[in-house]
Chain A
Amino acid sequence: MTNRTSPTSEPTMSDGVRDPGGPAVRVVDLAKVFAGGVRALDGVTFDIPRGELTSIIGPSGCGKTTTLKIIAGLVDATSGLVEVDGTPVTEPGPDRAFVFQDFALMPWATVLRNAAFGLELRGVPRKEREETAREYVVKVGLAGFEDAYPHQLSGGMRQRVGLARALAVDAEILLMDEPFASVDEQIRRKFQEDLLRLLSEENKTVIFVTHSIEEAVYVSDQIVIMTRAPSQVSKVVRPGVDRSGGSDHIRRSPAYLDWVERIWAELQGYLET
């Protein structure tokens, strides 16, 4: 347990000027106490660099998802501040798109309509939004499934629809909440590779919550390691694994394995015994 004395200290405001050179997202001294008195977050601070993929990893129940939902504007922080491009976050905005762990697809709507739903809510005319959605449905590898319904798809395919929906609104920041947790292992690896390939074309800032160390090291530019609840940031690391040699090469490279080991050592201290 930590003994922070001032978890409710006033957040430090930046000057509020849009700074394209600065971090895409700043999380400053975030605290969250749930109704009922459970302290989930206790002074979480980190930056998300622009155009990179940052993973948040930590023991289960440590508030990774809560942090992500506060960044999304879906959950209010008890104290502290989240800034996107220098502007404090108070609610969801068009600069952020969310990918849900349980996909959150509308079961009564086709793949195409689901993928276009973000645009539909923004009032984009039908023809235009379906054109955009169709493009992303193809990009995530679901060509030919445009008119299928979610219950006709496997878990992995459903999450591809969730990804297409998030990409279609062309938000600068992609928030992914354990996107592969409900997808089986073999599909997950293929999906990770597809995700990296897609992201290299899209130039997004991605925040990726995961409980898999291997996944974090494999996909991330930066990894934020969190402690047990009430959580703080234990460490922020940049594995910088060389991705030039293909996935099999990466997963066997000493640098990759070394980073998995180091993060495991870091996390071990926070596991419940």
Chain B
Amino acid sequence: MELRGYRVPMAFSLLVWFALWEVIGRLELVSLIPPFTDVLLAFREVVPTADFVEAATITLQAFVIGMALSFVLGFGVGFAMGRNRAVGSLMGMWVNIFESSPLTAIVPALMALLGFGLPTMIATVFLFSVWVIALDTQVGVERVSSSLVEMARSFGASKRALYFQILLRAALPELLAGIRLGLIRGMKGVVIGQLLIAVVGVGYLFELYSRSFLMPQFWALLIVLFTFAFLASEAVAYFERKVSFYASSR
């Protein structure tokens, strides 16, 4: 970003927003928005509590297990769809339907089926994230140039070598995009799941804080989640930038 010829670091835009937030908070216009400094103080209050640690633990647990399932199945289904036309047309429609459907609606059904605990949260993370991973994997595998595949075959590549040395490498830009989008959806999934369940994890805390009008605590928790999601997606984006140089020349 540049202002009147001066290079301004991106963090500056955050500072501007925080200042604005502080002003609006101080004016006491909306009860929903406490001053930013109050939110910062609430961090000290929220983060060390047993409630928070427990919520974070169970949330992270559901997130990690759900994402692991999504990666395994998403990559598997995506590769199968990308390599095999029959599988692609058989599964493509369903994957697309689920990808674009409002999955929040089936969380209550999941609750009835799996209870109010970890299984439901894992299922929610999985259902939110697996489709985009499968679709991006499919696109990536389909975009691998056929002559690169023929090249590997002509030099005697085994099936294993073809998958690991050619397809996986060549599809990496799309695979990483799928991972990044999948992580973001998974985050949404775990929070939405917990909000609907309302008695566990971060969702319970959100419920508690908003019901008791503890707005600084509410915002502090939200910022923790934002930061986590942002760092996770930026970490993947870093690797995406590293491979982007060949995304256009495959």
A residues in contact (CB < 8 Å) with B: 69, 72-74, 92-94, 96-98, 100-102, 104, 106-108, 117-118, 121-122, 149-151, 165, 169
Contacts and interface: CB of A to CB of B under 8 A. Distances in A.
Contact of B156 (A69, A93, A107): A93
Among B145, B154, B172, B250, chain A packs the most CB atoms within 10 A around the CB of B154
A73 B246 CA distance: 29
A178 to B, nearest CB: 12
Interface in B171-219: 172
A70 to B, nearest CB: 12
B151 interface: yes
Interface in B122-178: 145, 147-148, 150-158, 161, 165-166, 169-170, 172
A178 B152 CA distance: 19
Q: Is the interface of A mostly helix, strand, loop or mixed?
A: loop
A151 B154 contact: no
A21 to B, nearest CB: 27
A98 B148 contact: no
B243 interface: yes
B49 interface: no
B161 to A, nearest CB: 6
A231 B83 CA distance: 31
Contacts of B147: 100-102, 104
Given A106-B169, A108-B243, A92 B249 contact: no
A104 B161 contact: no
A107 B250 contact: yes
Nearest to B247: A107
Contacts of A106: 148, 166, 169-170
B12 interface: no
Interface of B: 145, 147-148, 150-158, 161, 165-166, 169-170, 172, 243, 245-246, 249-250
A98 B245 contact: no
Given A104-B148, A107-B249, A151-B245, A96 B154 contact: yes
Contacts of B249: 107, 150-151
B151 A104 contact: yes
Contacts of A122: 155-156
A118 to B, nearest CB: 4
Nearest to A119: B155
Contacts of A121: 152, 155-158, 161, 165
Given A74-B150, A107-B245, A149-B246, 19 more contacts: A69-B150, A72-B154, A74-B153, A74-B154, A92-B154, A98-B150, A98-B155, A100-B150, A100-B151, A101-B147, A104-B145, A104-B148, A106-B166, A107-B170, A107-B249, A108-B170, A108-B243, A121-B155, A169-B155
Nearest to B151: A104
7 contacts: A92-B154, A92-B155, A108-B170, A108-B172, A108-B243, A121-B155, A151-B246
Nearest to A100: B147
B144 to A, nearest CB: 11
A94 B154 CA distance: 9
